[in-house]
Amino acid sequence: MTTPVVSQGVGRENVFIQLRGVSKSYRRGKQIVPVLSNITFDIRRAEFLALMGPSGSGKSTLLNLIAGIDHPDHGSIEVEGENIARLGDADLADWRAANVGFIFQFYNLMPVLSALENVELPLTLTSLGRRERRERAQIALRLVGLEDRERHLPSELSGGQQQRVAIARAIVTDPTLLVADEPTGDLDRRSAEEALGIMRRLNEEMGKTIVMVTHDRRAAEHAKVIMQLEKGELSERMELRHG
């Protein structure tokens, strides 16, 4: 049972991500198209935030900025006090490797690597030895219930299983922030519920902060907070209480 409560913001306590006056526009030919304008809001630690809105509202762009794979034109994005908008590409890559786990709509697994090797991939950026990397990847696969599929290639797995491998890859480095762009967009309802259930457990039991973009109202109801974007501006913030 989920009860929506409309609110305008979060308290100052326990702020994990702080966006202030964030704007972003794209150049399309000679035209400059504004996508986000003057976005200001906070995300609490261990929040599960769903970003919703119609196509072109800027929700994926906002997610990209929070994840550090794009730069804002103006404004600041502070994650645990560090303004990632000021980081250069190389520093940002290091920051993402250490702090962010990615879950994509189409899973984005390496088709030539097995489930275990895919999960192990981000760990090659760490100083861990081969055995330890393998052990951690196996634990991550066990967390998503795919320990018996570790040698399978992505093409040998169903969509739901591939997304669970992608979730395992996202959490294997133990990042504090998980970003998910339409994680259920390519899944049937049952697989979507499984993936969302795992994400919810990661949020509730392991304290991961999750920012998820979705069109799917039912998917969004797994989050603790839903934010609506309209034409590049925040229009509504809704806290959900799960019964």
Partner 1 sequence: MQGMNQFLKLVARNALRHRLRMSLTLAGLVVAILSFGLLQTIISTWHAGIDHAVPSRLIIRNAVSLSLPLPVAYQKRIRSIEGVRSVTYVSWFGGIYKNEKNFFPQFAVDAKSYLEVHPEIRLSDEARSTFLRDRRGAIVGRNIANHFGFKAGDVIQLRSMIYPGSWEFVISGIFDFSDPNIDTSQFLFHWNYLNETLRLRSRSQADQVNFFMVDVGALDRIANVSQAIDGMFRNSAAETHTETQRAFQIGFVKQTEAILLSIRTISFVVIFIILAVMANTMAMTARERLVEYATLKAIGFGPGYVGWLILGESIVVALAGGAVAIMLTPPAAAYFGVFNSALFPSLNVSSSTMALQGAVALLVGVLAALVPMQRVASVRIVDGLRAVG
| Position among 169, 208, 222, 224 found at the interface with partner 1 (CB under 8 A) | 169
Asked if 32 touches partner 1 (CB under 8 A), the answer is no
Asked if 94 touches partner 1 (CB under 8 A), the answer is yes
Task: Give me the least distance between CB of 198 and partner 1, in Å please.
Answer: 18
Point out which span in 28-36, 43-51, 110-118, 156-164 binds partner 1 (CB under 8 A). 110-118
By beta-carbon proximity to partner 1, the closer residue of 25 and 237 is: 25
Amino acid at 186: D
By beta-carbon proximity to partner 1, the closer residue of 94 and 204 is: 94
| Position among 37, 42, 70, 185 found at the interface with partner 1 (CB under 8 A) | 70
213 burial type by CB count under 10 A (0-12 exposed, 13-18 middle, 19+ buried): buried
Beta-bridge partner residues of 28: 31
Residues near partner 1 (CB under 8 A), total: 32
Asked if 242 touches partner 1 (CB under 8 A), the answer is no
DSSP 102-169: EE-TT----TTS-HHHHHHGGGGGSS--HHHHHHHHHHHHHHTT-GGGTT--GGGS-HHHHHHHHHHH
Q: Which of residues 122-151 bind partner 1 (CB under 8 A)?
A: 122-128, 130
For residues 149 and 157, the answer to whether their CB atoms sit within 8 Å is yes
Asked if 74 touches partner 1 (CB under 8 A), the answer is no
Asked if 111 touches partner 1 (CB under 8 A), the answer is yes
| Position among 93, 138, 147, 233 found at the interface with partner 1 (CB under 8 A) | 93
Long-range contacts made by residues 136-141, C-beta under 8 angstroms, separation at least 24? 136/172, 137/168, 137/172, 140/168, 140/169, 140/171, 140/172, 141/115, 141/116, 141/165, 141/168
CA 179 to CA 100: how far, in whole Å? 7
Which residues contact partner 1 (rule: CB under 8 A)? Answer: 61, 64, 67, 69-70, 89-90, 93-94, 96-98, 102, 104, 106, 108, 110-113, 117, 120-128, 130, 169
